[in-house]
Every structure is written in C-alpha cells, then in structure tokens.
Amino acid sequence: MFTTNPFDDDKLREECGIFGVSRGETASAIVALGLHALQHRGQEAAGITSWDGHDFHTHRAMGHVAGNFDRDEVIRALPGESACGHVRYSTTGETSLRNVQPLYAELNSGGFAVAHNGNISNAMKVRRELIRRGSIFQSTSDTEVIIHLVATSSYRTLLDKFIDALKQIEGAYSLIVMTPEGMIACRDPLGIRPLVMGKLGDATIFASETVAFDVVGADYVRSIDPGELVIVTNDGQIRSHRPFGETHARPCIFEHVYFSRPDSIIDNSSVYSVRKAIGAQLAIENPVEADYVIPVPDSGVPAAIGYAQESGIPFELGIIRSHYIGRTFIQPGDKVRHLGVKLKHNANRALIEGKRIVLIDDSIVRGTTSLKIVQMMREAGAAEVHMRIASPPTKHSCFYGVDTPERTKLLAHKLDVGGMQDFIHADSLAFISIDGLYKALGEAKRADIRPQYCDACFTGDYPTTLTDQDDVVVTNQLELLAERVV
C-alpha cells in the first residue's frame, strides 16, 4: 500500500500557488517555469490555461509540474500570449482532476478561467443557494462558486459582475482571472493571501511569491494591495480598481514563518532575514545551555541560524535530509514503516553523540514529527535534547486556505507546553511568544485591536466571519438537542 510520508503528515499544508502572464511570448512556457518555483505551495496537482486571442486551452493533471508541463507537446497545445496556472493542495474539495485549477467555464460574455489561492469561508452556504436557483456544479471546489456568482449576476459589464461576485463571498482569496477582455488579478479586502506583480519585457506577470519572478527573469514591481483589482487589457493598459474602499490589511503571518520560500520578498522584507530574526528573538526569550544548535530541515534552518548567532551556540547540521524521497513510499508493515521514517531524515551520529543539542523547528502541529525527531536524537546518543519552536503554539484551525487538522488533533489544543514536552520526550520545550513573533517582523508588539496580521492559528482571532463553520456548529448543536429530546 502507498501512504503519506509521516513527516509530511505533521506539517501545515501549503495553501496553493498561482501565476499569470499577460501579453508574453510563449506565455504558457513562462507560466510552467513560474509554477516550478511555486511547487512548494502545492504538490497535489497543477494546471495551466492559455488564451490565443480566439480560444481558451487548458491542460490539468495530478502530480507535480515536472513530468506534466516539461514536454514540448504540452506547451505547444497551450498557445497564446496570455496564460495562468495553479499548483494545488486541496483545502476545500476532494482530491480529483475535476477540482484541479484553473477552473474554466463558458459564460454569456465568453470564456472565464480562474486560479485561486485561499479559501472561501461561506462557500457552502453560497453553493446551496446557487443550486436552489438552478446552478449545476461540476466540481466540489469552493472556487467554482465565484464562476456561478459571475454567471448569475444581474450587472451589465463583466467587471461589475466580477465585483458583485466578490462582494458576496467571505474569507481569503488571491485570484488570477482570464477573460477575452484581458487578465484580472485581485486580493481579498484583508490581503490574507499574497499576490505580487512583475514585468518581463512588455509582459505583466502576477504570482503568489516574488521567487517566481526570479526564476523567469522578471522584475518585481509591487504587491497587489488588499482589496485591489488590477486589470491588464489585451492592448497592455493596466488599470487599478478598489471596490471595497479603505481596508485594514491582515496578511497571513505564517507566510513569514513557514509557507513562503526563504528567497522570497514579502512587503519589502526578505523572508530569510525575517526567519533569522525570529530565531534570534526565540533565543532571547528561551535560552538554554547546549553544545549545538541543530535545525529540523529544511524549514527550521534560517531560524536556527538566527538562534545560534544570538545565543553564541555553534550551528551544526545534526539531521541530514534526503532530497530524493518522494511524498509516498511503500510501507508493508509496522516495522518497515518505522524504518521508513529515516528515509527522509537521519541523525548525524558522529556529531550528536554525547552532546547537548537544541533542535529548532518552525511549528508543532500534531506532534508526531517532533516525537520522532527527539527519539532519533536520543538513539544517536544525544546527552540532552531541547526543542525550540519559531512560532507560538498552533492551537486553532485555519479556514483561509491552509489545510490544518481539526482543532482537536492539534497538540497545542490538547496540552499545555509542559504536557507537549512530555509527549515528545524532550528535556525542555519552548515557543516564541506572539509579541516576540511580531517584534521579529518589525512591530513593537501585537496590537490588541485590529492586529497587523492574521494570526488566528495561534490566537483564535479570526479576522472574518466563518459562516460555514458557524452553520456546522449550529447543525451539530441541533442534532445533539434532537437526540436528547428523543
């Protein structure tokens, strides 16, 4: 049987990645390269839609960009100077080809393709109403409600129909939309999910992260503002619309902690430098006497460097990661399953034996990875194993495009820090404080009213209403009440 790698299973899943090119030669080839750079944001499926001035062309596939979009015949079948693409890890909707994006539909105004990063938190309610009115859905993705809302809008122009649709949805979204009139890129009014704009010659490019610009040789221009729609017409005109008025940004703080690649830039700040600053702040708040600072690769590396530099404890690679294991491997039994853990990470015994070590990781989700890592260090002969986490305890689920486990499965929801320490069998365990995290990001502290970031996974302070979740809670309560009455 094939099963998910246990290390992958204990990470917050990257949301999705989107990339678009307007007025670029061999646009689909550029999009394919951009998606390669965004592969870390979604490894489940990938898709590209192009427009050749007359027709739309789409290729979607399960799996990675490599192997699906590195063949000449695939790119040749996606002609045109405009194209958009998507890499997916499902947060809403089943794992199947019908949910792979970009989603495409023929509307009264012509073709409409959309690539979405984020999660619509009232999608189920909107979907039920649309179905009641006669809409027929082809996928289980929350993104499809946008297409139906546009199709059924009573406004006259396509732009007004699109804005009308956006005003009926809640939650997080960064979108790239292709129509016969041009390309639209937009972010939700809080800017929870990222989206940036660049230039490559005469072409305008949009992407989830700046690293994708580096890969295709484009220049970074700016971030799309929260609540902004940027329209690129077929003749190259660029217009900005702000239909939501003044907004208060609450971008996802976990982009800085884990999701974005360290070589990306967010709001003019290097992700790598921020993660080093987080590690330094973690060392200030939670010092410990040890011989080595050791990162849990790869996401813990920048924070570990910062921790080592601040604490004066030498940085060493005490865990070696294999880069040649896929996301799945054969596990015919419990014994082999246990051995399979070391396919991805293995202890550097010659370094660790007899030493006091500080392990640095970006987060603890279920705790199973931390437990296995600590056990691996002890089996390699470590004298003491201390763990330091470069984010506050993850106590709450995310409903904005990150596939977190149910809250009851989050270790920090079930246990306090002492209980978590006992669970992973560490000599000590500590997390950066929420104010410390904000300080590393250049803020004095977390604002009590209207915080600077979306940090709901740590604080439970959700910046939008959660209509679908509230409906589920009410339904469960009614079912329990009915059972008691019976």
Distance CA(469)–CA(200), nearest Å, equals: 42
Residues 318 and 185 in one domain: no
Question: Of 193, 222, 250, which residue sits at a domain end?
Answer: 250
> Residues 290, 399: one domain?
yes
Query: Each residue of 341-389: pLDDT tens digit?
Result: 566 789 999 999 999 999 999 999 999 999 999 999 999 999 999 999 9
The answer to the question of residue 474 being in a domain is no
In a domain, 302, yes or no: yes
Q: Is the pTM value of this prediction over 0.75?
A: yes
Contact yes or no for 463/250 (Cβ under 8 A) = yes
Measured torsion, CA atoms of residues 414, 428, 11, 451, in degrees rounded to the nearest 10: 70
Residue at a domain's end among 221, 250, 279: 250
Name the residue type at position 27: A
Closest of 83, 51, 57, 58 to residue 180, by C-alpha = 51
SS (HEC) of 408-441: HHCHHHHCCHHHHHHHHCCCEEEECCHHHHHHHC
Residue 344 pLDDT = 75
Same domain, 181 and 214: yes
Based on the fold, state whether residues 286 and 240 are members of the same structural domain: no
* Whether 209 and 311 share a structural domain: no
For 416, the domain range is 270-459
Task: Give the separation between CA 349 and CA 239, rounded to whole angstroms.
Answer: 58
* Same-domain status, 211 and 331: no
At 128, the amino acid letter reads R
pLDDT score of 342: 65
User: Can you spell out the DSSP letters for 94-161?
Assistant: -SSGGGPSSEEEEETTEEEEEEEEEEETTHHHHHHHHHHTT---S-S-TTHHHHHHHHH---SSHHHH
Total tally of structural domains belonging to the chain: 2
Q: What is the pLDDT of residue 478?
A: 37
Backbone φ and ψ for 249, nearest 5 degrees, come out as: -65, 140
What torsion do the CA atoms of 205, 206, 208, 213 make, to the nearest 10 degrees? 10
Structure tokens at 198: 């660049």
- Tens-place pLDDT, residues 408-465: 899 999 999 999 999 999 999 999 999 999 999 999 999 998 999 999 999 999 999 9
pLDDT of residue 39: 95
Query: Which one, of 210, 227, 308, lies nearest residue 266 by Cα?
Result: 210
Of the candidates 469, 301, 459, 454, the residue with the CA atom closest to the CA atom of residue 395: 459
Return the pLDDT at 328.
Answer: 43
Whether residue 325 is found in the same domain as residue 438: yes
pLDDT in tens, 53-89: 999 999 999 999 999 999 999 999 999 999 999 998 7
Distance, in Å, from the CA atom of 263 to the CA atom of 122, rounded to the nearest integer, reads 34
Residues present in the chain in total: 486
Which residues in the chain land under pLDDT 70? Answer: 1-15, 90-95, 325-343, 471-486
**Is 257 domain-assigned?**
no
Q: If DSSP codes are grouped into helix, strand and coil, which group holds residue 364?
A: coil
CATH of the domain at 203: 3.60.20.10
Instruction: Looking at the structure, tell me whether residues 69 and 142 fall in a common domain.
Output: yes
- One domain for residues 203 and 292: no
Confidence at residue 283, expressed as pLDDT on a 0 to 100 scale: 98
Residues known to be catalytic: 16
